[in-house]
Amino acid sequence: MIYLDNSATTFPKPLAVREAVRQAFLEFGANPGRSGYEMSRRTTEAVYDCRHQVADFFGARGPECVSFQPSCTQALNLVLKGTLKKGDHVVVSDLEHNAVMRPLEILKDRGVSYTVVETFPGDNDATMDSFRKSMTPATKLVVCTHASNVFGICLPVERLGALCHQYGAKICVDCAQTAGVLPIRLEAGGLDYVCAAGHKGLYGPMGIGLLLVRDPADPLVPLVEGGTGTQSRSLFMPEDPPERFEPGTLNVPGILGLRAGIKFVAQKGTEAIYRAELQKAGYLYDRLSAFPWVTLYTPRPQAPYYVPVLSLNVKGVASEEAGEALARLGVAVRCGLHCAPAAHQKMGTEEGTIRVSPSVFTRQEELEGFVNRLSRLYAPRKTKVRWEN
């Protein structure tokens, strides 16, 4: 199989990640922070070590700023629902995923308002002006993607963070597509909240996400309450993070797999990974742009304005139909709306696109194989488009 759906989940996973998950079941099978016996203690230490490595990787003040969540989506929900109240105003970009837009619609019914601002790919100054014009005295939070999961368009999140602080607001950045691909520095970048997925550019397993809070004293309200193994006599969640945001038993196999994934990315180097993946995306762009029957929706991806994600369509063919035909030939791509209808509305692709995203493991022959198989499927005719299997 030629796997080019890494924006959804990176595959394959590094050997060290697979081994870490296996080891979790064999040697770290006890609940962390719940008991004093040896295996529980060692599991607690392993989880803490991962927390420390995450803090170091993202430039947080310390491990207390790192909480493990079931997904990036839940981390975003925690920030939105734990920060906003009736009368608050939020500013978001026109590229947002449903992990942001759906919670905001729920909050809208509770008296929270939001403004969607236009972004300008490749022109960060214009994007900044667009956000600036939407800030009001009631603006409490700016929530934006670091990079679009559909078109790879990057936003200047550190500049946006500085803008927010000028207005007394905070910024929450959805780093689902950029964690492990672009450098993200929580403290130095002035980012109040960073939400990330463990199973994408960090090469961890599914089912593990991250919430990083710049200020450990942030009065963020928990999304879920329950047992933490500490302060059990109290009917309220602990005041101190990260336990405040981690009710129930943690996903230890996911956490230990994530730890191995972060080590893998750190050893490779985020900058080196970005350059390599961008080169692969650029190769695909150059090959595909030579086909008059292919529509591409962005310029050739270049740093620092894009991450290595391409959206395309075959003229006259629905994206889902193209995806099914490619799947029959052993090519895995993502087609449709990618849970981000706002981005498609912006780019005029309301019917969806074929999304192609390489990873550090994608080989040159796989890129060529994708292009060749797409060419095999497309048989130009004077009057119509025909697909052949």
Q: How many alpha carbons fall within 13 Å on the CB side of residue 245?
A: 28
pLDDT (mean) for 327-344: 97
Instruction: State how far the alpha carbon of 263 is from the alpha carbons of 11, 46, 155, in Å.
Output: 17, 14, 26
Q: Which domain holds residue 160?
A: 15-267
pLDDT (mean) for 169-192: 98
Examine the domain organization and report whether 36 and 47 are in the same domain.
yes
pLDDT (mean) for 3-13: 98
Does residue 380 sit within a domain? Answer: no
pLDDT digits 0-9 by tens, 89-125: 999 999 999 999 999 999 999 999 999 999 999 999 9
Does residue 198 sit within a domain? Answer: yes
Examine the domain organization and report whether 311 and 246 are in the same domain.
no
Amino acid 241: pLDDT: 87
CA atoms of 248 and 240, how far apart (whole Å): 16
Does residue 142 sit within a domain? Answer: yes
pLDDT (mean) for 186-192: 97
Examine the domain organization and report whether 76 and 187 are in the same domain.
yes
Examine the domain organization and report whether 284 and 239 are in the same domain.
no
Does residue 357 sit within a domain? Answer: yes
Amino acid 231: pLDDT: 77
Residue 306: which of 286, 283, 278 has the closest Cα?
A: 278
Amino acid 214: pLDDT: 97
Examine the domain organization and report whether 188 and 237 are in the same domain.
yes
Residue 119: which of 345, 308, 279 has the closest Cα?
A: 345
Name 88's Cβ contacts closer than 8 Å, sequence gap at least 6: 112, 113, 138, 140, 141
Examine the domain organization and report whether 259 and 301 are in the same domain.
no
Amino acid 128: pLDDT: 98
Examine the domain organization and report whether 177 and 314 are in the same domain.
no
pLDDT digits 0-9 by tens, 133-173: 999 999 999 999 999 999 999 999 999 999 999 999 999 99
Give the CATH number for residue 193: 3.40.640.10
Does residue 379 sit within a domain? Answer: no
Amino acid 259: pLDDT: 98
Does residue 389 sit within a domain? Answer: no
Does residue 387 sit within a domain? Answer: no
How many domains are contained in the chain? 2
Examine the domain organization and report whether 104 and 125 are in the same domain.
yes
- Asked if the model's pLDDT at residue 175 lies above 90, the reply is yes
pLDDT (mean) for 216-232: 87
Residue 383 banded pLDDT, cuts 50, 70, 90:
very low
pLDDT digits 0-9 by tens, 237-293: 888 889 899 898 999 999 999 999 999 999 999 999 999 999 999 999 999 999 999
Pick the last residue of a domain from 235, 267, 299: 267
The mean predicted confidence, pLDDT, of the chain is 95
CA atoms of 341 and 306, how far apart (whole Å): 19
Residue 33 banded pLDDT, cuts 50, 70, 90:
confident
- Asked if the model's pLDDT at residue 386 lies above 80, the reply is no
CA atoms of 221 and 212, how far apart (whole Å): 14
Compute the C-alpha angle 205/208/214, nearest 5°: 130
Examine the domain organization and report whether 280 and 257 are in the same domain.
no
Examine the domain organization and report whether 187 and 284 are in the same domain.
no
Pick the last residue of a domain from 267, 283, 315: 267
Pick the last residue of a domain from 267, 298, 320: 267
pLDDT digits 0-9 by tens, 193-208: 999 999 999 999 999 9
Task: Name the more confident of 329 and 33.
Answer: 329
Amino acid 384: pLDDT: 46
Does residue 388 sit within a domain? Answer: no
Does the reported pTM lie above 0.85? Answer: yes
Residue 379 banded pLDDT, cuts 50, 70, 90:
very low
Examine the domain organization and report whether 262 and 281 are in the same domain.
no
Task: Name the more confident of 208 and 224.
Answer: 208
Give the CATH number for residue 358: 3.90.1150.10
Examine the domain organization and report whether 41 and 164 are in the same domain.
yes
- Asked if the model's pLDDT at residue 328 lies above 90, the reply is yes
